[in-house]
A = this chain, B = another copy of it.
Amino acid sequence: MSDLPVALDAMGGDHAPKETVAGALLAAREGVPVVLVGDPERLAAELKAQGGELPIVPAKEVIGMHESATEVRRKRDASINVTVRLVKEGKALAAVSMGHSGATMAAALFILGRVKGIERPAILAELPADTPSGKVHLIDAGANADVRPAHLAAFARMGAAYAEQMSGVENPRVGLLSIGEEASKGNQLVLAAYPLVEKAAENFVGNVEGRDIMSGKADVVVTDGFTGNVVLKLAEGEAKTIFRWIKEALARDLKAKLGALLVKDALKGLAARMDPAEYGAMPLLGVQGAVFIGHGASDRRAVKNAVLRARKLARSDFLHALGA
């Protein structure tokens, strides 16, 4: 099983197939076999242009970024469907796509199905934070805009299993995102979910607030997909804005410019830590298989990292831990 390749939807993403092919070649050079899925002629040409070789599984159609996710049902030979089917058929270890995220979720749900006991698969995002692992696991980061209290309890279970298996966090601290620390604070959803999450999470630390997400109060932060998506995009957007302002501040006069030369290296590592491409993509948890969904804007490094992490998840005990 370990020698099975990761299947990459090479047609998905704003910079496909150039960056998808380049990312796959980078992964292959690190010893991770990858199979490209998509238009065989375009992919062969791109491989040739980049001077690399990888197996191709042909897929005639593509689901465009402005099409509906329901096209997954109609276009049976769309690259994302073929990619996920390779996992279902045991021909690939995991599936990765930088394309239409709604379509990727739909394909994963229809083709792989849900893990028993998980009604709603959810997206997990990793953000830099002051935790022992250096990151916080946010779930759901956008798969379910409206959820019921019991769904949050299932997200807590999946988030904790992922933090344990993928980030090596022992007995992860699970927090429920709310607007006050007391169990009596929150909206109706969170108030109803509190006792369920408390029961579902082995190490429940209670409610956490927005300010606690990066400060490290929990290893796993549980929320609905609307709030989680806002949190994820704000966290990324704010880091970008602050680093842009820092750049401006360090160019404002000669003294600052001189200092900037000296601190450049120190700040570079920090900027990299805040860069979403470090993680590459986000897993869709709760389906019967390892599926990663990336930013449309992903570059080759993001593609490579996504492939590496998809393989790691597929080879981990995550699904087993969930009782799949």
B186 touches A209 (CB 8 A): no
For the complex with contacts A231-B231, A249-B269, A256-B266, 4 further pairs of A-B residues with Cβ separation under 8 Å are A142-B179, A145-B186, A213-B237, A234-B235
A239 touches B237 (CB 8 A): no
Docked Cα-Cα span, A234 to B212, in Å, equals 7
Is A111 located at the chain interface by the 8 A CB criterion? no
B179 touches A145 (CB 8 A): yes
B residues in contact with A267, CB < 8 Å: 246, 249-250
Contact with B along A57-90 (1 / 0, CB 8 A): 0000000000000000000000000000000000
Of chain B, the residue at the smallest CB distance from A211 is: B237
B266 touches A262 (CB 8 A): no
Could you tell me the distance in whole angstroms from the C-beta of A232 to the nearest C-beta in chain B? Answer: 7
Could you tell me the distance in whole angstroms from the C-beta of A236 to the nearest C-beta in chain B? Answer: 6
B226 touches A187 (CB 8 A): yes
Interface of chain A: mostly helix, strand, loop or mixed? helix
Of chain B, the residue at the smallest CB distance from A263 is: B259
| Chain A 91-148 residues near chain B, CB threshold 8 A | 129-130, 142, 145-146
B residues in contact with A186, CB < 8 Å: 145, 226
B266 touches A252 (CB 8 A): yes
B270 touches A146 (CB 8 A): no
Docked Cα-Cα span, A269 to B263, in Å, equals 18
Which 9 pairs across A and B sit closest by C-beta, in order of nearness?
A259-B262, A210-B233, A211-B237, A210-B234, A259-B263, A145-B187, A256-B266, A211-B233, A179-B229
Question: Of residues A146, A179, A239, A264, which shows the largest number of chain B Cβ atoms within 10 Å of its Cβ?
Answer: A179
| Chain A 216-275 residues near chain B, CB threshold 8 A | 224-227, 229-242, 245-246, 249-250, 252-253, 255-256, 258-267, 269-270, 273-274
Is A188 located at the chain interface by the 8 A CB criterion? yes
